[in-house]
Each structure stands twice: as structure tokens, then as C-alpha cells.
Structure 1
């Protein structure tokens, strides 16, 4: 399925973080729909290095790229010598997905170096190549602000959210200084779908609960989960947003969600329906003070300026995801 009238054939496309969840889905979108495009994946790939919280520093995984036929460049966006490897290419489109995306990493130095410093380098590359820049911002810029979350009203509450907020400010300034450039940031809400498995503990509750159920266990949820709502968006709609961001009516940052929040209980119930189980629910106390109870993306400007319309409901998205959830159940995550 193609999402715009743009012909990416005979174009050179960079995807940073291309071995990760969203990046690898983008890589296969171009490969499947524009076979004459040249797709370059830039990723540092997974190592065993972890943060203080025990989570991996990089989630890029070679298994996300099995059957990919484009170019793969292994490199770290923190390294100028690694980034210099991209000078062998002149890009038409740049999709910047690489980042430290773990909201529970509080090492401010490494988060800011990785997410902010590298953005300057990639914007300069986009300017020199006359390339379109579409980058991953985040709904984490909103912190715990009440719904609906609206672009321009933001209050980041962790280093990751602040780093994405700073990227947005850099993009705004760069757009003003370079009015001929196309620069669009996308604030993803709760994304789920194939190729997220190797995010391990930071993968969506859809696959985590699915695997709990396949283990024969009742899905584990916080008490009151029927009242805890999130704006869950399927990877297919996220790809749609990225593609439509290549031809915006105007530069800016845009929310990418459904604007139709659903509960964690809904996810568990849909999974049990699709998996043919009736295990009930294991409710546990919520240990977090100030836990966010509701997110809802205001997508009005995304609809107006990008022509974005989410089409995959939670029921349809989970049903389509079930074969992959089953396939990966019990497989080695390393």
C-alpha cells in the first residue's frame, strides 16, 4: 500500500535507527513499494551494554532486517567519524528514527548527546544534500499534561522528553533560517505492531500481554485499568504519517495518534478474544505516584497539514498482529 503520490523510485533514502521498530518497518515499506529506491539503513545495532535501569542501550536488531536488500551502515549517531560514512551518499529523503527512546533513562548527558547533538549534524547533512528531513519527536514532550495533548503546549518530565522538546526547537529555528527546506517532526503516541519484539521491556503492552496469555497466565494489569487510557496507534498508521510528512503543507511538529484513546483492559480483552482464551485478569496495585491516566493526541493539524487519517482500529490492528505475536512467543530475544 502506498500513502502518497510521491514516487520514491530512483531516490536515495536514509533511515537512521533503521534496525529498530519504526525504522525497519520504513525500510521494508520502501523496499516493497518502491523497488527502484536506494534505501540506506544506519544503525549502531544491539550490544549487551545496558543503562543503570538494566535496559539495553540499543534496540536495533539484525533480525528486523532479514530479507532487506538495501545498504546497511553500522554506526553510532554520536560519532562524527561514523556519520562521515554517510558522506558517500547524497540523500533525497532522511528519516531520523535513531535515539535513546527509553523514558526511564536519567543519564542526562548521554540522552542529550545522542538525541540533541547528533540532530545538528543530520540537519546540516539534509541541508547540504537538499534532502527532506522527517524526524521522530515524541508524545513524551507533553509529560503528564491533561488530554487532549496539543502541539505547542508541552511540559517534558524526563530527560528523553526534554531532548525531544529541544529537537523540536532546533527544527523550528532551522526551518526559519532555511525556508526552502522540508523539516517535519512526528510526535508518536503509543505505537504497536510487528518488529517491536526486540525492544524487550520497552515493547508495547500488546505484545507483552499477548505473551503472558500464551504462557497460560492471566494478563497482569494495574487495578482500575479499565480507566487507564492511552492513544494506541498501529505501525501501519505511523508509516502513513512518515510518508505523508514528506509533502507537508507547512513545516512543523505533528501528533501521530488516533485521537481515540483505549484502555489497557481493552487490549487484554481483545487479545483474549483473538487467542480464544478466558483467563480473567490479574490485577495488581499501581506503584507509581502521579501515573498518567489518559492520553489523547490532538491530530487536527496533522490531518490538515499532512493529510493524515488513522485507519487501523485497535481491534483490527491486534487481530492482524496475532500471527506475529504467536510466532515470536518463546523465541530468544537476544
Structure 2
């Protein structure tokens, strides 16, 4: 059996789909379905069982599931604006520690979701302590588990891989609300209103020129499966290694939609002039907590053996738009 925590969520459900694509069906999905419509992410996928997160650990430690091949730990409170620090630390830090110790005792590989949010506004994105300075409780919870793992490296007997995801976008993120990718937000805005909203200049960047490392979820899944097949314990950045502006993402989304309508393909300046791309002030709640620039340093990922090319924003958005067009939403 393969266990996927957070398996009804965005990255978790895509991992289940990728595992199904390899012929895997003996999959236990662990999640919270308080938000009931997350079930849509698992529709059409094949799993052996589903279990809520609360009873899962007790049943795992009781040996209720038979042999476990691997654990993909994607479950977490991922709201970067969360204010209940105790809840976030319990779900993201304490839960992860318990899984780590069980996996080591049972000699089961653990592949878990860390986050590029651990870097904050350090301006450096290398997997090293001096680069890490989280800006919110979510980033802090991920940082603390990475630190905890580092203190236990010498004791490991089973592989452990931590993946610092950068800005992931792609299918199965409808349920994420305001935490969904800007690709989804831009797509919805353009379809409904005929224009998109980006943040005005901030952090030394011009309007819409804040930059992120946007990575398609298919590439995230490919990295996870690579290290399942070729274990090499470590903490790795998972991004394209190329920062792109929010303007570039908006242009890719608009042109991706227009290409499917046989509509006009336009450049940034023309979209700005036509007020199809518009700029709004950054909310006060994000001041001091916003990463204006991220770009994965992928040298450790590549040195560990992952050599597949990543989708560009244009390639990934086109793939995502095609998927969105097929969904009832």
C-alpha cells in the first residue's frame, strides 16, 4: 500500500492520479473532508481506501494497513494567512514528526511537502540555514520540520525527501479559494469580467513585475515519483529555476484562453493599454509578509539525479487551460 496524506487536496490528488498512471491502485488517501467538495479531486481516480486524518496515526501505529511501500505526506494547513499558530504547528509540525518516526521505525520511505515559504524575503533560495527566514506561521511550521529532520539525519535508516515547492499551479485546485494559484484566479477573472487584477508595484518592483518561480503540478509529481524510484535522502527545491513576472503569467493565461477561442494573441503592452490587465494596491494584510521574488536554486535537485526539463509558464498554462476547459466547475 502507498499512503498519500492530503490526498484529496491539490498536490496530493495529482500524485494519486500520477500513481494511477503507473498502475498503482492500492492507495490509502488520508485527508480532512470538512470541505466536502474536495471529493471532486478524487472523482475518476482509483484508491483502495479513504481515512480522515484524526484516526489515521493511531491506526497506522496499530499496524492496521499491512505492508506500506511509501508515504507521500502532502497534508497540511497551507493557509499562509492563518492566525491560529497552535493549530498550524499541530497539523504541520507535530503530525509530520510522528509520521517521520513511524516511517523510520517501519523502514518506509517518506516523501513530504516542505515549502519555498521557508525562505521569506531572504533573497537567497539555496537549501541552507542562512537562506531561511519565514514570514508567516505556515512557513515557520515547514521550516521547523526541516530543521527537526536535519537534527536527525545521522539516525535515518529509511529514505526521507523534503520538497520545497515553489509556486505550484495546475489541475485540482478549485477548493483552495484565495490560496489557489494566480493562474486559476486570472483565468476566472478573465472569463467572468474580461480583465485580470494584479498587484501594483511593491518591494521595488513595477506594476505586476513581482516575480515568482511558477511550476506546473505535473512537474511536482514527476519529481516525487523520481525520488520514490531513485531514493536519495535530502531537502530539495522544486521549482523551474526561472522566475517569471505576474505580468507574464497573466499574459500566458489570457492568450491561452484566446488561443482556444481562435481569438487575438496580444502582448503585455496592448493588454495594459486596453485595460485587460489592471493593477490594484496590495492589501494591508500582506505588507511585510509578501515574497516579491522567488527563484528556486535547483542545483541540488539536479545533482541528486533529477534531469527532466520543467514546463515553461507558457507550456504549463496552455496545458492547464486545456484541462480547465473540460471541467464543469
TM-score range, shorter chain: 0.7 to 0.9
Equivalenced residue count is 305
**Where does residue 127 of structure 2 map in the other structure?**
151
**Where does residue 109 of structure 1 map in the other structure?**
86
**Where does residue 44 of structure 1 map in the other structure?**
32
Seen in structure 2, the aligned counterparts of structure 1 residues 158 and 77 have a Cα distance that, compared at 3 Å, is farther
1:120 positional shift: 2.2
Structure with higher helix content: 2
**Where does residue 285 of structure 1 map in the other structure?**
281
The worse-fitting range, judged by mean Cα deviation, of 220-229 and 233-242 is 220-229
Secondary structure at the aligned position of 1:34 is classed as coil
Report the TM-score, using the length of structure 2 for normalisation. Answer: 0.86
1:241 positional shift: 1.2
Give the whole-Å Cα distance in 2 for the aligned partners of 1:85 and 1:67: 31
Give the whole-Å Cα distance in 2 for the aligned partners of 1:63 and 1:86: 29
Give the whole-Å Cα distance in 2 for the aligned partners of 1:195 and 1:161: 23
Give the whole-Å Cα distance in 1 for the aligned partners of 2:55 and 2:137: 17
1:132 positional shift: 0.7
Q: Mapping of 1:250-269 within 5 angstroms?
A: 250-269=232-251
The gaps in structure 1 that reach 5 residues or longer are: 1-11, 49-59
State the Cα deviation string for residues 175-223 of structure 1 (Å, max 9, x = none).
3112x31011000000000011111111000011001101133101112
Give the whole-Å Cα distance in 1 for the aligned partners of 2:96 and 2:219: 25
Secondary structure at the aligned position of 1:101 is classed as coil
Assess if the C-alpha contact under 8 Å between 2:88 and 2:137 holds in 1. yes
Seen in structure 2, the aligned counterparts of structure 1 residues 19 and 117 have a Cα distance that, compared at 3 Å, is same
Assess if the C-alpha contact under 8 Å between 1:78 and 1:113 holds in 2. no
Candidates 39, 47, 52, aligned match of 1:70: 47
Candidates 183, 189, 210, aligned match of 1:228: 210
Q: Are 1:61 and 2:38 matched, yes or no? A: yes
Give the whole-Å Cα distance in 2 for the aligned partners of 1:312 and 1:61: 26
1:319 positional shift: 0.6
**Where does residue 5 of structure 1 map in the other structure?**
none
The worse-fitting range, judged by mean Cα deviation, of 132-141 and 72-81 is 72-81
Report the TM-score, using the length of structure 1 for normalisation. Answer: 0.84
Secondary structure at the aligned position of 2:193 is classed as coil
Seen in structure 2, the aligned counterparts of structure 1 residues 253 and 78 have a Cα distance that, compared at 3 Å, is farther
Q: Are 1:136 and 2:132 matched, yes or no? A: no
Give the whole-Å Cα distance in 1 for the aligned partners of 2:191 and 2:326: 11
Give the whole-Å Cα distance in 2 for the aligned partners of 1:205 and 1:159: 21
Q: Mapping of 1:235-314 within 5 angstroms?
A: 235-246=217-228, 250-276=232-258, 280-287=276-283, 288-290=286-288, 291-314=290-313
The worse-fitting range, judged by mean Cα deviation, of 285-294 and 318-327 is 285-294
**Where does residue 54 of structure 1 map in the other structure?**
none
The Cα RMSD (Å) is: 2.2
Secondary structure at the aligned position of 1:246 is classed as helix
